[in-house]
Structure 1
């Protein structure tokens, strides 16, 4: 079944997957998929064959091989993917101890076990045809993953080019898509620490009442900035929302997590995920602030 263990593509896959897991481990178990691929490309010695593009698809061979074999790793429970982010599971981190060859071998075994548990039809097909169908299905999954990651990167680049006030309006639009009213959006100038106030009803009589601080920059939000927002949550039912495209320091996350008031942190990746989730609920005028286009694939 499958390719010989010493095939050229499989040997390369072993190095690529092992290196990708190492990259994720060095980044605390999670990283944007495209950045994982970039790091792998820097760390693995790739020859002309690996760097060549497939004639039909135009895709770079080594990148396609890496994407292809991440499917085995996902079915094995070693790797998760969500909104373009790759996550190394505890099982995946432990699998690093197996070494290059055995890690992918274990993932492939787990994939076969997963496949065996699926509902199969009873038609007696030729073994070669069955393997070709399975390969096509895995390649389709890999292609979808790749397009999703490219789409996420495009969204991030678009948002990064917005000025702080444009991004503030996008955040307010998202809240409206989530069913909130936004009676206050800070004008240019001093805002008293709040950028948006959002209510469940037009008058703000129904909890929760959202007080939103927004930082659109590359640097991470700090503990002092989180505490500043916490100090503005004076009334019962107040909830603090801190949106930071630069993410949060570890101490800032701990402060929000352990706070006696509710402070919700939204980093760049979570914001993009929420925008995708609630996009269809936005009015057309708000959709134009960060427009999305659906791409349809044949269902399996």
Structure 2
């Protein structure tokens, strides 16, 4: 990255944090990079491509964000980037762009030297490690986007069946799955035993609404209204839930669990070995191993 100064990198990273801080729920990496590109004037060098392929701008920013992650300022999870509380504090206290980035690098090397195979500061070693990290995160982002798109395009009743199959793999006994038509606010009913003699009864609402607004308090309360005193509620929504809805679920006297796309897929992978072949075909996944730097 010799063609990009520390000051320029700092300017890009501070602008990225400004964008992320305005989005408390985080942003998909691709959206964050696009927003950053629109917010700054790229140099001719940044706007160009590497001879090996790939845009320089994206590589420059991704390379710099590795230090921010290790500094504890930036959180990357399932392709979503968000500023941590420490990152927000650093953004507020370090106004100079170059100083902001240099502090992130300083914290990166502090982390690096604390690792079992600690090395002295070496630009070549740093570049190799950060390149490995970037390769992995781009692969994760691509894989996650494919999974999200696959689920978003799944017919609603097939998605409902997928949730039912997951419950079976988690050793619950699915007693009823709603047929097409009105369902009264409940899509799946499950129990802890085959006869439904042991409480609680689990009522599930499924929303394959990936491109819709997040479920708000009103939507959550509508589902909670169909829960009886002995029921546990499970609300699955690809769009996710607003902060207020999540707070409502935590504070409610009703027992209710909220699953967004991330949590749903995490449960699917955790219990994948217990899914039968038919269930696996609903969302077929395969782990891939990458050689990466130390965490």
The residue aligned with 1:293 is: 286
For residue 273 of structure 1, the aligned residue among 261, 266, 279 is 266
Would you say 1:223 and 2:217 are equivalent positions?
A: yes
Tell me the distance in 2 between the aligned counterparts of 1:275 and 1:66: 32
Q: How does 1:1-300 map onto structure 2 within 5 Å?
A: 8=4, 10-28=6-24, 30-56=26-52, 58-97=53-92, 98-99=94-95, 100-120=97-117, 130-217=122-209, 218-236=212-230, 238-298=231-291, 300=293
Tell me the distance in 1 between the aligned counterparts of 2:247 and 2:103: 36
Tell me the distance in 2 between the aligned counterparts of 1:246 and 1:121: 42
- TM-score between the two structures when normalised by the length of structure 1: 0.87
Tell me the distance in 2 between the aligned counterparts of 1:233 and 1:183: 16
Deviation at 1:209, TM superposition (A): 3.1
Deviation at 1:9, TM superposition (A): 5.2
The answer (yes or no) to whether the contact 1:196–1:211 under 8 Å persists in 2 is yes
- TM-score between the two structures when normalised by the length of structure 2: 0.88
Deviation at 1:299, TM superposition (A): 5.3
Cα 1:220–1:131 shift into 2, 3 Å: closer
Aligned-pair RMSD on alpha carbons?
Answer: 2.4
Cα 1:55–1:181 shift into 2, 3 Å: farther
The answer (yes or no) to whether the contact 1:34–1:150 under 8 Å persists in 2 is no
Deviation at 1:31, TM superposition (A): 2.1
Q: Unaligned regions of 5+ residues in structure 1, if any?
A: none
Give the SS at the match of 2:271: helix
Deviations 1:122-176 (A, max 9, x none): 9xxxx79x54233212210111011111111111111111221121112222223
Give the SS at the match of 2:194: coil
